[in-house]
Amino acid sequence: MSVIQFSFWKYILSPKSRIGSVATPTARHGALLCIRWPDDVTGYGDLFPWPEFGDESLDHQLDALNEGRVSAGLEQTIWLARRDAQARQYSQNLMKGLPRVRNHYLINDPDLVTDAELGDAKKMGYQYIKLKCGKDIQKELELAVKLIKLRGFQLRLDFNSRATPADFHTFMQKIPEPLRQKIEFVEDPFPYNENLWRSASQLVALAVDQEYHRVPWETYTEFSPPPFKVIVLKPARQDTVKAREFAHRFRLKMAITSSLDHPVGVMHAAALCGEFKKLYPNMILDAGCFSHTSYELDQFSALLPPKGPYLSDVTGSGVGFDQILQALPWTKLRDLE
């Protein structure tokens, strides 16, 4: 009898501040999965639901898995865990031989950012700052101008679809033209709408992240491409093969990011990013995988100390963390045939 055996270990991440424009600073629940395949290889993946973006709860997804039903998020978890398993089989680290991609600096909560922190980020070599916007547009506008003008950063602004088209236009028009060129892109200004996005794209380059699933990809052609220039790709949440096809077809760039998830998820995203950078160096922009410092330190993130805009290497096979993963008190799901 050949079965796939699933085990899980639930964890809690404690945010240091409000994270994501729609999240409140409450503990976030996820689970690591340990998956053993019939060909006798074992790999690890991360399941980190965002109910704010419509995901089913962690318990719901685990219960469903117990009954043989796989959520879209779990499909990615399993696919990434399989990559981990194949690397572990040969005791190889997934990052081996891959270029390291620089990350942007993430500001989750503009209220909490300090001058000292920005000075440090500059000194450490960050060139891009990702600023979560959409809560207090006036304040964010002031910070954006300050980051460009006084600190010399380039910006990625992420509205998480929370701006109105009017707010967005006001925001952009208040940033003088020379400074606007320092905005690399604006991510998900508002819910996807062909005409509204096309009009917004006259002011600044747009990127699609959470709105990715609302894009009517099949209606676009090489000669009539979508109204954005960048796909923000989260390997934890999107089919990466399909996204890469879209990027090729429509000549889009990609910024690969974590899902603000567990360090195991962070390293999965980083490995995929390195792989894509090696294959398509001109397509891959600075990454957004350096997100674990948004949470209180734990035994995993302790192995990823801040090191400028690059992630530290984690020793071990696959995504690393071998000893910690082996020592976790795993709970078995019913074996699935």
Site residues, Mg ion (CB under 5 A): 158, 187, 209
How many C-beta atoms lie closer than 10 Å to residue 328's C-beta?
16
Cβ closest to Mg ion, residue 157 vs residue 325: 157
Cβ closest to Mg ion, residue 140 vs residue 158: 158
Minimum gap (Å) between residue 234 Cβ and Mg ion:
8
Cβ closest to Mg ion, residue 93 vs residue 160: 160
Distance CA 172, CA 155 (A): 13
Cβ closest to Mg ion, residue 113 vs residue 233: 233
Distance CA 52, CA 13 (A): 16
Of the listed 132, 229, 253, 277, which one is catalytic? 132
Distance CA 17, CA 92 (A): 36
Place of tokens 């809560």: 135
Which two structure tokens, joined as six digits, stand for 85? 């398993």
- With CB atoms as reference, the residue minimizing the distance to Mg ion is 209
Of the listed 130, 234, 253, 277, which one is catalytic? 234
Minimum gap (Å) between residue 187 Cβ and Mg ion:
5
Q: Is 132 a catalytic residue?
A: yes
* 122 class by beta-carbon count within 10 Å (0-12 exposed, 13-18 middle, 19+ buried): middle
Minimum gap (Å) between residue 104 Cβ and Mg ion:
12
Cβ closest to Mg ion, residue 184 vs residue 187: 187
Cβ closest to Mg ion, residue 61 vs residue 161: 161
Minimum gap (Å) between residue 61 Cβ and Mg ion:
21
Minimum gap (Å) between residue 233 Cβ and Mg ion:
11
Catalytic residues: 132, 234
